[in-house]
Structure 1
Amino acid sequence: MIKMNRIILTVSALVKDNLRNRFVIFWVIVFPVLLTLLFSLVFGGFSTYFHVMVVVQGNENLAKFLNTTDIFQGITNVSLTYAMKHNYIYLKVNGTTFIIYASKQNQQFIPTLEAIVREYYQQDVNNNLHFNVAKITNYTYYDYLISGMIGIVSLSNGVLGIIGVSAGYYRDRLVERLAASPLRSYEWVISLIIYVIIITIISTITVIILGIIFNFIPIISLSFIGFIILSTLLFGGLGAIIYGLTPKDKIFLSEIISNILIFPLMFLSNAFFPSNVYPQYIREFVQYQPLSDIITVIRDFTIYGTLPSMSTILIIVILTIIFIYTGGKLLKLREID
């Protein structure tokens, strides 16, 4: 039977002990702030560095012509909703009338797009073209970046939170003292999970406060908060598995493995840039790896206020259950409980 008072006392001790640790403070607060500021300042207008995606409805040859430019990449067969959620420009062609749907960030490219369209049509209809522009969102790169950072927070705090505390307590022989107490292994696991959820919420609040400075006003809902907890559970379970499988006489390996795992997942994801800017040979991995899926759901909640793909949510729930169950079995206070 679960003793809630033991769990509450353990969680309280974990929070007090670790939030006094400068290393923990760095990963929970300083690291996400520095990373967000770095990418905000360096890539604040990131669309100018890459081809801008333009969805063309009504003229496939125009889309192909856009691909010959150094600025735009034309695609077809994509809905306006999908274009909006991926910050594409949407160009609807109806004879000599063109409706351009673009986000606030992409408004700067509209004059250039109009000029290229006129160039394409000039031999057929001269310049008797009519353009109407509609701003579909107030989307900016800062929205994209900061919502991505929220996903990274759940990854780093989930994996490193579990491994950092477990490995530190093992080296300091505090686990032996806990093993001598009435605390059961599953109560220890529950306490660790609650702890990483708490530090993830602290980190998320810090990133959102920073985001407000860049005019990022997220849509906060119970669904969003619940998903942050779910994603933290997923990565926390993964951290428990890594720690549980690591030989205790080589416990430092768990921290090395976690860093080897986290940084490729972080930088080969859609956290900082959309998947289409990556080389073709890794594009599929970037688009569908777990962190990218989680960030996509976070953006659906915080930026667009739409329901995410239920199939994606189901996959994340299944993976979370598997990781938490397996990690809970591996993360023991004592050999026999």
Structure 2
Amino acid sequence: MRTMNRILLTVSALVKDNLRNRFVIFWIIVFPIIITLLFGLVFGGFSSYFHVTVAVEGNYGLAKYLNSTEIFQGVTNVSLKYAAEHDYIYVISNGSSFTIYTSKQNQEFVPVLESVIEQYYQKVNNTYDFTVLQISNYTYYNYLISGIIGIISLSNGILSTIGVSASYFRDRIIERLATSPLKSYEWVISLIIYVIIITLISTTAVIILGILFGFIPIIGIEFLGFLVIATLLFGGLGAIIYGLTPKDKIFLSEIVANVLVFPLMFLSNAFFPPNVYPPIVRIFVEYQPLSVIITIIRDLIVYGISPNPILVSIVFLFTIVFLYAGGRLLRLREIS
């Protein structure tokens, strides 16, 4: 009971102390909103900046031909359900008749796709019949908001853990806490709970903004649970960075955090899919930690499907490792 009381009091103090700071408010609320608005307004015509994937049923040659264009990427052996969930255009070829399934996002490319199909069959003197059906209201904002939520778990997890720890060290608050009955593990748990709270605040602000853009997320226990896990993973990483930094050079932990966070943020699938990046970095963009977490979040709140269990297991495993290592390194009584 005493342990719980000390943790709750510490969490309350952390929340009150930091949420009164305008700089903190900027990073957990204003910054996510600004970056969402910036990318949403500038890149609202999302599909114009990358190859639109077209899943073809019934004609492998047509799919291969689409790959030779500068607009479309043709694939086969994909179900209509999978295509709808991942914003592919889906084409069923039946002789001279074609049924095209598309999202609202990709409707502007249907006339171009019809012309490309006619070019593919140009040696055959025939009339082609196209039926176009809209299968989802997917837009760039669905993609963007889900990516921003992943970024929130990254930035709050690493930057807030290091920021609070470093500022409390510089202001000698850690020294006062070290003379109190508060134990090191209670301090670590309190800090983790604080980071989770501000992550939920940031996520709520971005989701409200997304709703104004017409994005209605699928919010469930699975999403909230995974958001907490993602935040714990990056929070543990932040604790490791801070714990390994010599305390006479504590500013280095904040430099390392920024050097790590911003490349991960912009070299990820948060704003654009991996296939828009140069081939030399495409694999990294697709499988780096933030991209994996965003992929799982996107599956949960955009597509409403169960994420890849292997990816979830990997994230969960690394979360345990980082939390354990970070908890051992983030000691309360380490003042020399």
TM class by smaller structure? over 0.9
The aligned residue for residue 51 of structure 1 is 51
Q: CA deviation at 1:220?
A: 0.8
- Unaligned runs of 5+ residues in structure 1 are none
The aligned residue for residue 220 of structure 1 is 219
Aligned partner letter, 2:209: L
When the two structures are superposed, what TM-score results if normalisation uses the length of structure 2? Answer: 0.96
Measured against aligned partners, the alpha-carbon deviations of 1:160-203 in whole angstroms (never above 9, x if no partner) come to 11000000000000000000000000000000000000000000
The aligned residue for residue 205 of structure 1 is 204
Q: Is the CA contact 1:2–1:187 (under 8 Å) kept in the aligned structure 2?
A: no
The aligned residue for residue 32 of structure 2 is 32
The answer to whether structure 1 residue 75 and structure 2 residue 78 are counterparts is no
Aligned residue for 1:193, secondary structure, equals helix
Aligned partner letter, 1:32: P
Q: CA deviation at 1:71?
A: 2.0
Aligned partner letter, 1:272: F
Aligned partner letter, 1:79: S
Q: Percent identity among equivalent residues?
A: 69
Aligned residues: 335
Aligned partner letter, 1:262: V
- Unaligned runs of 5+ residues in structure 2 are none
Q: Is the CA contact 2:96–2:126 (under 8 Å) kept in the aligned structure 1?
A: no
Aligned partner letter, 1:107: Q
Aligned residue for 2:189, secondary structure, equals helix
The answer to whether structure 1 residue 233 and structure 2 residue 228 are counterparts is no
Aligned residue for 1:124, secondary structure, equals coil
Aligned partner letter, 2:233: L
Aligned partner letter, 2:19: L
Q: CA deviation at 1:18?
A: 0.4
Aligned residue for 1:122, secondary structure, equals coil
Aligned partner letter, 1:56: V
Q: CA deviation at 1:292?
A: 0.8
The aligned residue for residue 114 of structure 2 is 114
Aligned partner letter, 2:78: V
Q: How far apart, CA to CA, are the structure 1 residues paired with 2:196 and 2:246?
A: 26
Aligned partner letter, 1:102: T
Aligned partner letter, 2:52: V
The aligned residue for residue 286 of structure 1 is 285
Q: How far apart, CA to CA, are the structure 2 residues paired with 1:150 and 1:4?
A: 30
Q: CA deviation at 1:121?
A: 1.1
The 1:2/1:59 distance shift into structure 2, 3 A limit, reads farther
Q: CA deviation at 1:2?
A: 6.9
Aligned partner letter, 1:255: E
Q: Is the CA contact 2:28–2:201 (under 8 Å) kept in the aligned structure 1?
A: yes
Aligned partner letter, 2:5: N
The aligned residue for residue 141 of structure 1 is 140
The aligned residue for residue 6 of structure 1 is 6
**RMSD between aligned alpha carbons?**
1.4
The aligned residue for residue 274 of structure 1 is 273
Q: Is the CA contact 1:158–1:236 (under 8 Å) kept in the aligned structure 2?
A: yes
Aligned partner letter, 2:230: S
Larger deviation, residues 315-324 vs 99-108 = 99-108
Q: CA deviation at 1:89?
A: 1.1
The aligned residue for residue 323 of structure 2 is 324
Q: How does 1:128-167 map to 2 (within 5 A)?
A: 129-167=128-166
Q: Structure 1 stretches (4+) deviating beyond 6 angstroms?
A: none
Q: How far apart, CA to CA, are the structure 2 residues paired with 1:163 and 1:2?
A: 27
Q: Is the CA contact 2:49–2:276 (under 8 Å) kept in the aligned structure 1?
A: no
Aligned residue for 1:105, secondary structure, equals coil
Q: How far apart, CA to CA, are the structure 1 residues paired with 2:309 and 2:124?
A: 46
Aligned residue for 1:3, secondary structure, equals helix
Q: How far apart, CA to CA, are the structure 2 residues paired with 1:311 and 1:65?
A: 34
Q: CA deviation at 1:62?
A: 1.4
Aligned residue for 2:181, secondary structure, equals coil
Measured against aligned partners, the alpha-carbon deviations of 1:293-316 in whole angstroms (never above 9, x if no partner) come to 111111111111111111111111
The aligned residue for residue 192 of structure 1 is 191
Q: Is the CA contact 1:230–1:320 (under 8 Å) kept in the aligned structure 2?
A: yes
The answer to whether structure 1 residue 18 and structure 2 residue 26 are counterparts is no
Q: Is the CA contact 2:86–2:303 (under 8 Å) kept in the aligned structure 1?
A: no
Measured against aligned partners, the alpha-carbon deviations of 1:98-125 in whole angstroms (never above 9, x if no partner) come to 1212111001111111121112113214
The aligned residue for residue 299 of structure 2 is 300
